[in-house]
Amino acid sequence: MSSAAEPTGLPDLGPLKPIPGPSPLGGGFKRAAELLYLIGLTDFRKVYFNTTLGYAWSLARPLMLFGVLLVVFTQVFRIGSEVAHYPVLLLFNIVLFGFFQEATTMAVGSIVSHESVVRKTQFPRLVIPLSTVFTSLLNLGLNLIVAFIFILAFGVSPTWTWLLFPFTLVLLIVITCAVAMIVSALYPRFRDLAIIWAVFSTILFYATPILYPINVVPDTLQQILLLNPLSSLFEEMRRYVIDPSAPSAVEVAGGWLTLLPAIAIYIGTCIFAVWIFRREAPTIAEQL
C-alpha cells in the first residue's frame, strides 16, 4: 500500500510557464469571455426570473419615466408638439440613455461588490465592469423590442437607414464600456465616485439631446452640447430610426471640424479607459 501512496508514472506537465499574475484578462481571453457570459447571464436572470414581476418590472421603469416626461413636455412645455414623432423619439432616447446610465452606475461599485472573487481567485478584472454592460445590454435588447413596437405603432415607417442603427449602437456600447472601466477602476481608490457619478450622469442626461432635438437649441448652447460625444450619437440614431429628415450631426455642427473635439473626447475616453484599467487592475485586490 505504501508504494501506492507514492505516484508512479507522473504525467508530463510540460515546461514551466510564468504565471499570468493579476491582470485585466488574467487567465486568457477564452476564460474571460466564459466568465463574462456566466456572470452577465446570472445577473440578467436574477432580474427577470427571480422577482414576481420580472420582465414587466424592468420594463416599467423606462415606461414610467417616459409617461411622466411625455406629459410634461407635450402638455406643460409644449416643445414636444413641434417635433415629429416626439413621443416615440422620447421613448427611444430614454431606453438608449437608460442603458448607458444603468451600465455605468452599476459599474461604479462592481469591483467592490465582487470583492470575494477578486481577492480570492485569479479573476480577470475586466470581466467585472464588462459584465454590468453585458447585463444592461440584454436589458436594452428587450426594451428596444418594446420601443420598436411603439415606433411602428406611432406610424413611423421602416426605412433602409434602420440598418445603420446597429453601427451607432456599437459606438454607444463602446463608450459605455470605456466609462464603466474608468469608474470601476477608480472607485476602490476614490469612494466618493459613486455620488459624483450619480450627479454627473444626471447632468449628462440633460446635456444630451434626449428630451429635445438638438436643432431646437440656441446656437451657442448647441456648440457646447456638441462637445458631448453622446449628442452626435443620439442625433444620428434619431435620424436613422425615427426621422430621416432630421439634420445629421455634421449638418447641425456646420462641418466636420466642429465635431472634432467630440470625436477626440470619445477616442480619448477609450484610450484613458484602457490605460487606467491596465494600471489599476494588478493592484486592485490590495486596495479592497
Partner 1 sequence: MSTDTTQNEARTKLAQGAVLAEMLERPVVVEARRINKTFRIPLSKVDSLKERITRPTAKTSYRELRALNEISFDIHQGEFFGIVGRNGSGKSSLLKILASIYRPDQGTVRVAGRLAPFIEMGVGFNPELTARDNVVFNGVLMGKSLRSARRGLDEILEFSELTEFADLKLKNYSSGMMVRLAFSVMAQADGDVMLIDEVLAVGDASFAQKCMDVFQEKRAAGKTIILVTHDMSTVQAFCHRAMLIHDGEMKYLGNPEEAALGYYRLNFDPASFTNSLPNSESGLVVARQLNARLIEAKVLDSAGNSLASIEQGQPINLRVKLEAARRLESPKVTINVRQLDGPVIFGFERDLQATVDDGDHITLAGQIDHRLLAGQYVVECWVRSDRNDNVMGLQVMKLAHFDVRGATGAEGLVSVDSDIEAVIQRRSVDE
Residues in 161-190 at the binding interface with partner 1, rule: CB under 8 A: 189-190
Q: Which is nearer to partner 1, 152 or 196 (CB)?
A: 196
199 binds partner 1 (CB under 8 A): no
Span from 83-91, 112-120, 136-144, 163-171 in contact with partner 1 (CB under 8 A): 112-120
Any contact of residue 61 with partner 1 (CB under 8 A)? no
Judged by CB under 8 A, the stretch of 22-30, 62-70, 218-226, 233-241 that binds partner 1 is 22-30
Q: Which stretch binds partner 1 (CB under 8 A): 8-16, 150-158, 160-168, 171-179?
A: 8-16
Grid coordinates belonging to 157: 415607417
Spatial distance between the Cα atoms of 100 and 225, rounded to a whole number of angstroms = 17
Q: Quick one: DSSP state of residue 16?
A: -
> Under the criterion CB under 8 A, does residue 255 sit at the interface with partner 1?
no
Helix axes 229-241 and 86-108, enclosed angle (nearest 10): 140
Which residues have a Cβ under 8 Å from the Cβ of 288 and sit 6 or more positions away? 111, 112, 115, 118, 119, 188
Taken as a whole, the chain contains a residue count of 288
> From CA 266, how far away is CA 179, in angstroms rounded?
10
Question: Does 196 participate in binding partner 1 (rule CB under 8 A)?
Answer: yes
Write out the binding residues for partner 1, residues 122-151 only, by CB under 8 A: 122-123
DSSP state for residue 201 in the 8-state scheme? H
Q: What does the block give as the cell for 152?
A: 411602428
Determine which residue in the list 24, 25, 29, 35 makes contact with partner 1, applying CB under 8 A.
Answer: 35
Q: Which of 38, 60, 170, 260 binds partner 1 (CB under 8 A)?
A: 38
Q: Does 11 bind partner 1 (CB under 8 A)?
A: yes
Q: How far apart, in whole angstroms, are the C-alpha atoms of residue 150 and residue 214?
A: 22
- Judged by CB, which is closer to partner 1: 14, or 218? 14
> 227 with 261: CB under 8 angstroms?
yes
Cα–Cα distance, 94 to 211 (Å, whole number): 8
Chain CA centroid to CA 34, Å: 20
Q: Which residues form the interface with partner 1 (CB under 8 A)?
A: 1-2, 4-7, 9-11, 13-22, 26-27, 30-31, 34-35, 37-39, 42, 46, 50, 116-123, 189-193, 196, 282-283, 285-286
